[in-house]
Amino acid sequence: MRRSKRQSRSLRLEAWTASDVARQQLGWYVRNCALSPAAGMLELVMLQRLDRLKGALEGDIEDLEFDDNASFDARNLNRRRQEFRRILGEYTAVPSNDDGLEMNVLFARDEFGLDDIDTEILLLLLRYERNNDLEQFADEVLHRLHGPAAAVAALLGIERREARRRIASDGLLIESGLICLSEDGCSVGLAGQSGYLQLARPLRKVMHYSYASREEWVAALIGEPLATPLAWEDFDHLGPVRELAAKMMAGAGKNGASGINLLLHGPVGTGKTEFAKTLTGHVGMSIWSIGETDDQGGEPTRGERLAALKLAQRLLAKRVGTLVLLDEAEDVLASEMPFFGRSRDRSKVYLNRMIEQNPVPIIWTCNDVAAIDPAVLRRMTLAVEVKTPGRSARARIWNRVLDETGLKLGDDAVERLSSRYSAPPAVAANAARAAMLSGGGEAAVEEAMGGVLQLLGIGPGVPDADASDFDPVLVNCDGDLAGLTERLVLPGASRQWSLCLSGPPGTGKSQFARYLAARLGMEVMQQRASNLLSMWVGESEKQIAAAFQAARARRAMLVIDEADSLLSDRREAVRSWEVTQVNEMLTWMESHPLPFVCTTNLMDRLDQASLRRFTLKLRFASLSPAQTKLAFERFFGIVALRRLADDLTPGDFATVRRKRDLLGVTDPSMLADWLDEEAEAKGARVRRIGFAAARD
């Protein structure tokens, strides 16, 4: 629906509506209509405007209302026609505005390469928005001529065929995003049965203000280029595809290639936008973020974002070394949403063409690629999955962030933060800034960061153990762990192997895997099977594949705990997805080129085929009596005064040591009692025989 006249008037300056310039503009467009082939159809409309034009010449500016159904008797008709022709003789040229509007149109003419007719159409729509008399007249003309093309032809005094060509979908005005013939993404304009001929909203918000220069006008239209404080090395966890993306964008900028599209996808908070900005700076280019707000500063519609994108493409095409960023692209690239009120099929054709022909490379970011039409995905030049950075990268990020903010934290704090939290660079920087402003330290950083990460769905990870925390002597295993480690870390030794570590909780399985990774100089990517399993059919398989792919990209050791949940015996499967889940794991295990470790407490539940795929299978058990004595000395620095309980593990000693540190207890008897409690909780046999037991 068209807006009401009251709403229309509220958008205009009263001073402009009452000015002589406004009436002279009306006279110019009425004159064009009088000289057009449609003059006969418009005679009544033009005669109804006679008093308005006459008043302008004679100083009578009374605001008269006209009845669309008014008629004139034959006796007065010829007299009014003569008077009309006399008055129109006074309007041989359209007057200029004195408020910068024409200057803005000249800016647009130069930037978009408009000719005289395109410029006049743009001026007509701008004047329509500001001139109440012209709006009324133009609406009446369009109503009687049944369509925007016919109305434009009459108002400008050009051929209807030419007007139709100028406002066609492939015409310069619409292709450039200056105007549109629809309701979506545009301001209110000439309305007819075939649609609305309107200014695009991104243009509308800047055209009614004055600017000192063309560059200032361009900046008002598309904003300023983005910058980032992050370093290229902050994203080395993305692997070789990072360099490929940089070289592609640099080549596109140098050669002026069209149809270049880079899709950055991944979960919320992984740093997709920051990577786009960092990549741009790395290759010495500039990037603009487009379609973030509408003309009122609110959330834009799909049409508004695409209109802004088209404008930016045209404006930046002349500028060397420019890129365009469109964040949260799902709502733009999703095929099920209609575009400009058209059918889905027409929308796909339009969108596909825009992606294939864009003159300025576009970086698209999205959180969910499943929402994007496959036809659009096929047209992307390159797609990069942006994952959370690895530990070594996170450590570099934290060191740089601390230097920039001036927050003083020790190396141990950096190690803990980078080990425990998979924080994207922007989150780390904000947390450090919050801690600095509040006068806090590491605890304040964790507090500030924890809340944001929770919102992003990123929880704290499992801290990586230092190599010195693991002692093979304190592990009861059926294999020689020390000898195995030395063979695996030999220069030139194969890295394509897998281990299955089984045994009760706390026996050191995961700790050995992390120790082995540290000796190999590899990052650990530790996953629990429960994190990979999904209630949705097919999703578990996707998450399994993603875990292996991420390990390959980072050149990291993948450790999967609770592997029995993913490799359960297929002979006992009840549902088909239980089988496909195991098959997916087996497929990736066979082809994985890097060290891979599974841990399980339930070895007997594993599928037999999976067992054959492990290079080595090692069984971990509770500590022997001799090992418990040694563990007591290593963990507590004192000698046990009696024989300790059966079925103790290194994990039990670690638990009691934390309890000791918290309560400040050093009595060996009390420490032994606490170990007994840990053993009793597991149903183990406990001996308390006295001091003589200490000499067993």
Q: How far apart are CA 458 and CA 451, in angstroms?
A: 10
**Stretch 84-93: mean pLDDT:** 73
Comparing 226-240, 253-267, 676-690, the range with the smallest average pLDDT is 676-690
DSSP-based three-state secondary structure for 598: strand
For 369-385, the pLDDT digits (tens) are 878 888 888 999 999 98
Which of 118-122, 132-136, 537-541 has the highest mean predicted lDDT (pLDDT)?
Answer: 118-122
Residue whose structure tokens are 């209110």: 188
What residues are paired with 659 via a beta bridge? none
pLDDT band at 79; cut points 50, 70, 90:
low
pLDDT-above-70 percentage for the chain: 80
pLDDT band at 294; cut points 50, 70, 90:
low
Structure token pair of residue 373: 């039409």
Other beta carbons within 10 Å of 112 = 21
At 574 the pLDDT is 57
Other beta carbons within 10 Å of 89 = 10
For 623-672, the pLDDT digits (tens) are 999 999 999 999 999 999 888 988 899 999 999 998 998 898 889 999 99
pLDDT band at 9; cut points 50, 70, 90:
very low
For 656-665, the pLDDT digits (tens) are 998 998 898 8
CB 506 within 8 A of CB 623: no
**Stretch 266-288: mean pLDDT:** 89
Spell out the SS3 assignment of 417-433: HHHHCCCCHHHHHHHHH
Average pLDDT, the chain: 80
Which DSSP string do the residues of 377-432 spell out, in sequence order?
A: HTT-SEEEE-PPP-HHHHHHHHHHHHHHHT----HHHHHHHHHH----HHHHHHHH
What residues are paired with 270 via a beta bridge? none
Q: How far apart are CA 95 and CA 127, in angstroms?
A: 11
Residue type, 544: I
Residue 419 has pLDDT above 80, yes or no: no
At 568 the pLDDT is 82
pTM of the shown model: 0.61
At 295 the pLDDT is 53
Output 678 or 696, whichever has higher pLDDT. Answer: 678
Q: For 100, phi and psi rounded to 5 degrees?
A: 90, 0
Q: How far apart are CA 559 and CA 451, in angstroms?
A: 27
Output 208 or 603, whichever has higher pLDDT. Answer: 603
Largest CA distance in the chain: 136
Specify the DSSP element, H or E, that contains 568.
none
* Cα within 13 Å of Cα(292), Cβ side: 13
For 424-469, the pLDDT digits (tens) are 777 888 899 999 999 888 888 888 888 777 776 565 544 444 445 6
Output 505 or 189, whichever has higher pLDDT. Answer: 505
User: Which segments of 201-343 does DSSP mark as H helices, in order?
Assistant: 201-207, 214-222, 240-255, 272-282, 302-316, 330-333
**Stretch 122-144: mean pLDDT:** 88
Which of 231-240, 330-339, 477-486 has the highest mean predicted lDDT (pLDDT)?
Answer: 477-486
**Stretch 299-319: mean pLDDT:** 83
Distance of CA 210 to the CA centre of its chain: 34
For 375-412, the pLDDT digits (tens) are 888 999 999 988 777 677 778 888 888 888 889 888 88
Q: How far apart are CA 198 and CA 125, in angstroms?
A: 7
For 146-205, the pLDDT digits (tens) are 888 899 999 999 999 999 999 888 888 888 888 877 544 344 445 433 456 788 877 887
